Amino acid sequence: MPVTLPETLPAFDILSREGVMVMSPGRAATQDIRPLRIGLLNLMPKKIQTENQFARLIGATPLQIDFQLIRMTDHETKNTAAEHMEAFYRPFAEVEASGEKFDGLIITGAPIEHLDFAQVTYWDEMQRVFDWTQTHVHSTFGVCWGGMAMIYHFHGVRKHLLNAKAFGCFRHQNRVPASPFLRGFSDDFVIPVSRWTEMRQDEIDAAPGLVTLLGSDEVGPCLIEDAGHRALYIFNHFEYDTGTLKEEYDRDVAAGKPINVPINYYPSDDPARPPLNRWRSHAHLLYGNWINEIYQTTPFRIEEIGLDPVAGR
């Protein structure tokens, strides 16, 4: 089944060419089913790239997805055309005022790791978003900075600056194989990592209600379940395309910034050779499992989201 996207959104043609099932809103309206309503609060500079990455993953399930793009209200992006933002994104303040509800919400990372949370210009609104999810979103997925920020907001767990950037493809372990979010997962696999901060396992363990599902001996906890807030937090980047780490590496090299060759990414760690994607299947498993769990537990009447914390179908 398809993900519903505007026909003029770049992702519509890109994903169609890749074989992902996409459908226009007009076509979706003729089907006698309720699609899952999934929002993407996109904090990344390259909005279109990020839209494609997440739409690709959530559009690979047998369910119809109504994909909605959201931005922070007063923050203006410098890397995406204003026309694109005006055509496809709604400010959070508008979404909040409408009272509408979502089956799922993805909150992306943001290139502001070096800042304390309170120093982020949109932090006050970000905290409103987190609180709003508890009454208007059935399940929230915080990614990288978005996940760290949610854990800090709800549990007071802090992020810590690293001495060097964690950059490359690192081995991770499946810590809770029985979790419904990890159906089909191998015991050991790689995930792309690109961050200057970390959250520490002992501090997560000390926070009631948090369970680490995926972790790495090299780069620490990765995927955290917060059942009490109906949320998942992931600090690494299953959604990355094959070339995303290469783009980041080439950018920093061109700018003269100190950066190591991404670990375990290029064959023989040789940046002259094309990188290999060794995480794609697990990326589809994780986001497919998340969508399936939403489908199994979200109220059939979307307006009932938030009325009962354990609402089921």
Kindly list the catalytic residues: 144, 237, 239
Q: Is 10 exposed, middle or buried (0-12, 13-18, 19+ CB in 10 A)?
A: middle
What is the spatial distance between Cα 211 and Cα 16, in angstroms, rounded to a whole number?
A: 37
Strand partners, 217: none
Token reading at 65: 């997805």
What is the spatial distance between Cα 123 and Cα 128, in angstroms, rounded to a whole number?
A: 9
Residues 6+ apart with CB under 8 A from 272: 266
Chain centre to alpha carbon of residue 218: 22
- Nearest CA-CA partner of 239 in 12, 35, 59: 59
SS3 assignment, position 158: coil
- Nearest CA-CA partner of 146 in 134, 159, 135, 137: 159
What is the spatial distance between Cα 88 and Cα 71, in angstroms, rounded to a whole number?
A: 10
